């Protein structure tokens, strides 16, 4: 049993991290008042941008695998940021329905990236020859219990993302910027009256979500997928669910994404673990989604959703 | 009229965007478009395929549009479609009866399957105010995994593990005379079913009390409630009908255009339904026209890909760009308003000019 848990843990964390950073991006966007359902598409963009960059660098600059991966991740972050401008412009300046605009982002991302990768590689896929190598944290992986669970087979991206979550939590709760951003999502008219530039804050929120979603897509590529194929199989939508599950709080999101990470990993490996083979696999696969539905019902009464999220900002409205 | 102009300009922008994409990636846009449209319209058989490709899109487009009218965003047409198609396939494979009995039963099964799948998000929305976008996405994945395990367990094909047994011809919407008329195309009775449903839905929306109530809830649920309309009942009812329409899309796809269900695939028609509804301005006739237009792009892309080096995903890209411009129609609306305003001002100054003389 213990060895099983030891094996599952690194996998579950590996699966959690992209979800976590994307959900955190969604948090910035929704806290500023813009629902970003385009996270899925922005992840695809990130995945494509990193796969393309790494593919090109591997041929143009052989022998620098790790550096290429770092550059790929940075490019993906930038690509997600730039692409999210489309959503920001439509929903902030053009008063578009945010859900529809996000849907358009998803469609454009899915179609455009496969179109481009077909032009580049001939097939719709871009393979990475070397994924990001995992490592054991020096010294810490010898700690009993915690060592094998948390500090073995980790990726440096995991630690960076955890730092970003911690930093975001402080940023949102302890700084003037965080207060202003949240005010724009709760009562933008009041924020404007207090001298906050609502449109600017919302742009910042959406751009952060785009950058984080691109980053998440890249991490998914270099740690899990290893190949770009035009989809991130619904992870962006799952991140959206994790955002609600975590009640729009960074630490809540951490818990929710860990839950999804473990639930999915257990469902994926259930066939090889004797203790789990008695469960029908369908139950394990459906479990995370069914739990989300139940959680939505449970939280519906006490929901902490930003009050103005999804609404068009009309500064004359009271 | 204004909606029509907005949709038309979105299409024009989409085609221009597609042309730019082709040009940037080193292809000839004119040649690409020529083969794209030839591929969908060149002869009667290709035209039939275009109609067939558009058929499921008519249903999913109607599904999304109908929910939209009540202010609901049904993003889960893919899951409802899959489950509706699965229910219909069970009837078609397990029941031994003549075609005249089977087809109506399959239609009912598809309607019920889709409606059940949409009922849960509808109930959650009405009763607990759970946002339907998230709940329908969750339902999509639940449908995906349910079918993933249910098809091999109950409807397994003889040799292939990943798809259901092929339906016998009597249990599909195929009609030999129709296929012959279109020179061997796979167009089927689903198209007629779709046209009938478009008429029924147009009637419900425009001519009945039910349609009026659903639209009222969509415009402003508080004032609808004040006027004595049961808002919760309307939300559930709207989702039921929307789901039933998506279920019919499943029938048209899995027992019309195709004859089995593949596991591990959420049909793209579900998501494209959003695009169809949006371009069709949520009106049944608009949905019909835009579904056939998208059907043309989808059925022509294979031919284009065979004749040129342009990847078939150009069709998806064009559709996606169209949707972005349809979503930002406010911009277009402003241009039209400005244009009309200027014309009116011109006419006004002309009249006052005459007065002076």
Containing H/E element for B115?
helix B99-128
**Closest Cβ–Cβ partner in B133, B139, B141 for A234:** B141
- Chain B contact probe: residue of A48, A91, A290, A293 with most B CBs at under 10 A: A293
Confidence band for A208, pLDDT divided at 50, 70 and 90? very high
Q: What is the dihedral of CA B4, B7, B13, B17, to 10 degrees?
A: -150
Contact A101 B324 (CB under 8 A): yes
In a domain, A317, yes or no: no
Task: Give B227-284 as a DSSP string.
Answer: TT--HHHHHHHHHHHHHHHHHHHHHHIIIII-SS-BTT---HHHHHHHHHHHHTTT-H
Write out chain A residues lying below 8 Å of B330, CB-based: 94-96
* pLDDT surpassing 80 at residue A302: no
Contact B128 A300 (CB under 8 A): yes
Total of domains in chain A: 1
CATH number at residue B135: 1.10.3470
In a domain, B144, yes or no: yes
In a domain, A200, yes or no: yes
Give residue B355's pLDDT: 45
What ipTM goes with this model?
Answer: 0.86
**Tens digits of pLDDT across chain B (357 residues):** 778 888 888 999 999 999 999 999 888 999 999 999 998 888 898 999 999 999 999 999 999 999 999 999 999 999 999 999 999 999 999 888 888 889 999 999 999 999 999 999 999 999 998 888 889 989 999 999 999 999 888 888 777 778 888 888 888 888 888 888 888 888 889 999 999 999 999 999 999 999 999 999 999 889 999 999 999 999 999 999 999 999 999 999 999 998 889 888 888 898 899 999 989 989 999 999 999 999 999 999 889 988 888 888 899 899 999 988 888 877 777 777 888 888 888 776 665 554 444
How large is the greatest C-alpha to C-alpha distance in chain A, in angstroms?
63
Cα of first residue to Cα of last residue in chain B, in angstroms, is: 37
- Global pTM reads 0.89
Task: Choose among A32, A2, A5: nearest CA to A183.
Answer: A32
Give the distance from residue A313's alpha carbon to the nearest chain B alpha carbon, in angstroms: 14
Give residue B351's pLDDT: 56
Give the distance from residue A238's alpha carbon to the nearest chain B alpha carbon, in angstroms: 8
Containing H/E element for A127?
strand A126-127
- Range of the structural domain that residue B208 is part of: 43-308
Burial of B236 (0-12, 13-18, 19+ CB in 10 A): buried
Phi, psi of B188 (to 5 degrees): -145, 180
Over residues A30-64, the pLDDT tens digits come to 999 999 999 999 999 999 999 999 988 888 887 78
In a domain, A11, yes or no: yes
Containing H/E element for B102?
helix B99-128
Over residues B206-246, the pLDDT tens digits come to 999 999 999 999 998 899 999 999 999 999 999 999 999 99
In a domain, A230, yes or no: yes
In a domain, B6, yes or no: no
**Closest Cβ–Cβ partner in A111, A286, A297 for B316:** A111
Helix H, strand E, coil C: the string for A233-284 is CCHHHHHHHHHHHCCCCHHHHHHHHHHHHHHHHHHHHHHHCHHHCCCCHHHH
**Closest Cβ–Cβ partner in A237, A241, A296 for B124:** A296
- Range of the structural domain that residue A167 is part of: 2-299
**Closest Cβ–Cβ partner in A99, A114, A115 for B133:** A99
| Residues of chain B contacting A, Cβ within 8 Å | 21, 25-26, 73, 75, 120, 124, 128-131, 133-135, 137-139, 141-142, 145-146, 148-150, 271, 274-275, 278, 311, 313-314, 316-317, 319-321, 323-324, 326-331
Give residue B109's pLDDT: 96
The Cα–Cα gap between A21 and A242 comes to: 11
Contact A289 B142 (CB under 8 A): yes
Total of domains in chain B: 1
CATH number at residue A53: 1.10.3470
In a domain, A318, yes or no: no
Contact A107 B271 (CB under 8 A): yes
Structure tokens at A84: 């999210």
In a domain, B316, yes or no: no
Over residues A75-110, the pLDDT tens digits come to 999 999 999 999 999 999 888 888 889 989 999 999
Is the C-alpha dihedral spanning A204, A206, A209, A213 positive or negative?
negative
Over residues A141-170, the pLDDT tens digits come to 777 777 777 777 788 889 999 999 999 999
Across the strands, what pairs with A228?
A: A126
In a domain, A241, yes or no: yes
In a domain, A236, yes or no: yes
Cα of first residue to Cα of last residue in chain A, in angstroms, is: 59
Write out chain B residues lying below 8 Å of A86, CB-based: 324
Containing H/E element for A227?
strand A227-228
In a domain, A219, yes or no: yes
């Amino acid at each position: 049993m213990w060895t099983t848990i030891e094996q599952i843990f690194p996998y579950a964390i590996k699966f959690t991290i992209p979800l976590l950073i994307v959900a955190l991006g969604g948090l910035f966007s929704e806290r500023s008042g813009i629902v970003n359902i385009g996270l899925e598409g922005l992840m695809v963009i990130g995945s494509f941008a990193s796969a393309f960059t790494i593919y090109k660098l591997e041929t143009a600059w052989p022998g620098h695998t790790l550096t290429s991966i770092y550059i790929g991740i940075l490019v993906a972050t930038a690509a997600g940021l730039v692409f999210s401008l489309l959503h920001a412009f439509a929903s902030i300046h053009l008063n578009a329905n945010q859900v529809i605009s996000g849907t358009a982002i998803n469609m454009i991302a899915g179609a455009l990236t496969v179109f481009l990768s077909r032009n580049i590689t001939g097939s719709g896929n871009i393979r990475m020859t070397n994924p990001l190598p995992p490592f054991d944290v020096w010294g810490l992986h010898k700690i009993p219990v915690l060592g094998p669970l948390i500090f073995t087979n980790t990726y440096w991206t995991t630690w960076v993302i955890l730092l970003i979550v911690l930093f975001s939590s402080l940023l949102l709760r302890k700084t003037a910027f965080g207060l202003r951003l949240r005010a724009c999502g709760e009562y933008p008219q009041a924020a404007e009256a207090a001298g906050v530039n609502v449109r600017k804050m919302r742009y910042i929120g959406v751009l952060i979500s785009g950058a984080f979603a691109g980053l998440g897509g890249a991490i998914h590529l270099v740690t899990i997928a290893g190949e770009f194929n035009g989809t991130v199989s619904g992870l962006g939508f799952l991140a959206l669910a994790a955002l609600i599950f975590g009640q729009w709080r960074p630490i809540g999101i951490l818990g929710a994404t860990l839950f999804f990470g473990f639930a999915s990993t257990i469902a994926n490996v259930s066939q090889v673990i004797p203790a789990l083979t008695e469960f029908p696999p369908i139950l394990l696969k459906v479990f995370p989604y069914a739990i989300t539905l139940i959680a939505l019902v449970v939280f519906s009464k006490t929901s902490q959703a930003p009050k103005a999220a999804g609404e068009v900002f009309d500064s004359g409205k009271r | 009229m204004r909606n029509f102009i907005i949709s038309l300009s979105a299409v024009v922008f989409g085609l221009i965007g597609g042309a730019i994409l082709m040009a940037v990636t080193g292809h000839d846009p004119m040649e690409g478009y020529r083969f794209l449209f030839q591929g969908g319209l060149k002869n009667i058989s290709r035209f039939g395929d275009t109609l067939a490709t558009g058929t499921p899109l008519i249903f999913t487009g109607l599904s999304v549009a109908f929910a939209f009218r009540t202010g609901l965003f049904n993003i889960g047409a893919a899951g409802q479609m899959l489950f509706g198609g699965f229910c219909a396939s069970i009837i078609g494979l397990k029941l031994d009866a003549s075609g005249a009995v089977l087809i109506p039963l399959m239609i009912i099964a598809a309607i019920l399957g889709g409606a059940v799948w949409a009922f849960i998000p509808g109930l959650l929305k009405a009763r607990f105010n759970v946002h339907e976008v998230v709940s329908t996405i969750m339902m999509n994945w639940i449908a995906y995994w349910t079918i993933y395990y249910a098809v091999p367990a109950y409807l397994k094909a003889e040799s292939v593990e990943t798809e259901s047994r092929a339906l016998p011809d009597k249990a599909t919407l195929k009609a030999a005379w129709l296929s012959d008329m279109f020179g061997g195309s796979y167009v089927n009775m689903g198209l007629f079913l779709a046209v009938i449903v478009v008429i029924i839905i147009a009637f419900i929306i425009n001519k009945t009390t039910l349609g009026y109530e659903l639209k009222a809830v969509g415009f402003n649920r508080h004032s609808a409630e004040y006027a004595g309309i049961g808002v919760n009942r309307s939300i559930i009812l709207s989702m039921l009908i929307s789901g039933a329409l998506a279920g019919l899309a499943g029938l048209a796809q899995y027992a019309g255009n195709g004859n089995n269900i593949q596991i591990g695939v959420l049909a793209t028609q579900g998501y494209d339904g959003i695009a169809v509804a949006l371009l069709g301005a949520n009106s049944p006739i608009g949905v019909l026209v835009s579904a056939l237009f998208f059907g043309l792009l989808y059925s022509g892309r294979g031919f284009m890909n065979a004749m040129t080096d342009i990847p078939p995903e150009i069709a998806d890209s064009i559709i996606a760009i169209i949707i972005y411009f349809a979503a930002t129609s406010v911009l277009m609306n402003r241009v039209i308003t400005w244009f009309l305003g200027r014309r009116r001002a011109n006419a006004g100054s002309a009249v006052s000019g005459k007065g002076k003389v």
